[in-house]
Amino acid sequence: MDALPGRPMHASTPEGAPVIGRLPAPAGPAPVEISGLSYAYGEGELRRPVLRDIALTVRPGEIVLLTGPSGSGKTTLLTLIGALRAMQEGSCRVLGQELMGAAEGERVALRRRIGFIFQQHNLLGFLTAQQNVAMALELDPATTEAGRLARATAMLAAVGLGDRGGSRPDQLSGGQRQRVAVARALAGDPGLILADEPTAALDRQSGGEVVRLLRDLARRRGVPILLVTHDPRILDIADRIIAMEDGRIVPMKEAGAVPSP
Ligand SMILES: Nc1ncnc2c1ncn2[C@@H]1O[C@H](COP(=O)(O)OP(=O)(O)OP(=O)(O)O)[C@@H](O)[C@H]1O
């Protein structure tokens, strides 16, 4: 179910076997390595620090959850790692690219190597599920339109929506839309998945299904995930949980706002 056209799987699993437990962590450099990162919004008297001296490493294949109270800086950190905003201070190396001082072109190139999943699925309403997933591959000059659509279909099958490729987002349930977003994020063989509250708009059951699917597909490929969440129901998918408070990473025992699973 998971062997996609023209795309070798990074991790070998027996064809069709259910994914249970952990595969050996892939070796290699850390996909995310952050030190001394600080960030502030505004300027002059309006300047407001929101991230302070952050240090964080995500290891190859690791699934890391970032949690903490509203306003603690989680989304800001995620957008810096995703090269969606420019760094101000410290070092943030993502998939080998140092983002401190990186040019806009370098940030754009890095973004293409990252799979993003947001709270709202961000699918285009006038495109079918298949077209939405295929769109993620359009920037790859090595692909043809037919190849992109075939890969999109295979990716939709991998998220259990093999028969819904022709449906537009408004014809799908919230959980199905988010599964399309998972398929889209993984379609381009990203080196890293960044997810911001992917279950926030979903009920308990579909939220759980979506993140477990994301975890299993990412693990099969050895793709690390950094996922921001408030949702205590999904903490069990993590290899590691990191808590933030007031712009800092805090040890879990001090993180009073971290809900228990
Ligand atoms: N574009 C912006 N301009 C100014 N301030 C901002 C901006 N974006 C976020 N902030 C502020 O920065 C702080 C951190 O916000 P951020 O969204 O990173 O926190 P968060 O932990 O993700 O919160 P939530 O869980 O509510 O999404 C908050 O006080 C927020 O109001």
- The residue ranges of every structural domain in the chain are 32-254
**What residue's CA is closest to ligand 1, atom 17?**
75
Cα–Cα distance measured from residue 84 to residue 80, given in angstroms and rounded to the nearest whole number: 6
pLDDT at 57: 96
pLDDT at 232: 85
Contacts of 178 (CB under 8 A, 6+ apart): 117, 121, 198, 199, 201, 202, 206, 210
pLDDT at 21: 43
**What residue's CA is closest to ligand 1, atom 4?**
41
- Looking at domain 32-254, its CATH class is alpha beta
pLDDT at 11: 37
pLDDT at 110: 96
Sign of the alpha-carbon dihedral angle for 77, 80, 86, 90: positive
Q: Is 41 in the pocket of ligand 1 (CB under 6 A)?
A: yes
**Which parts of the chain have pLDDT scores under 70?**
1-27, 253-261
Q: Is 50 in the pocket of ligand 1 (CB under 6 A)?
A: yes
Cα–Cα distance measured from residue 201 to residue 185, given in angstroms and rounded to the nearest whole number: 18
pLDDT at 255: 46
**What residue's CA is closest to ligand 1, atom 11?**
71
Q: Is 247 in the pocket of ligand 1 (CB under 6 A)?
A: no
Report CA(75)–ligand 1 centroid distance (Å): 7
pLDDT at 144: 86
pLDDT at 19: 38
Confidence (pTM): 0.85
pLDDT at 141: 73
Report CA(27)–ligand 1 centroid distance (Å): 34
Cα–Cα distance measured from residue 246 to residue 49, given in angstroms and rounded to the nearest whole number: 9
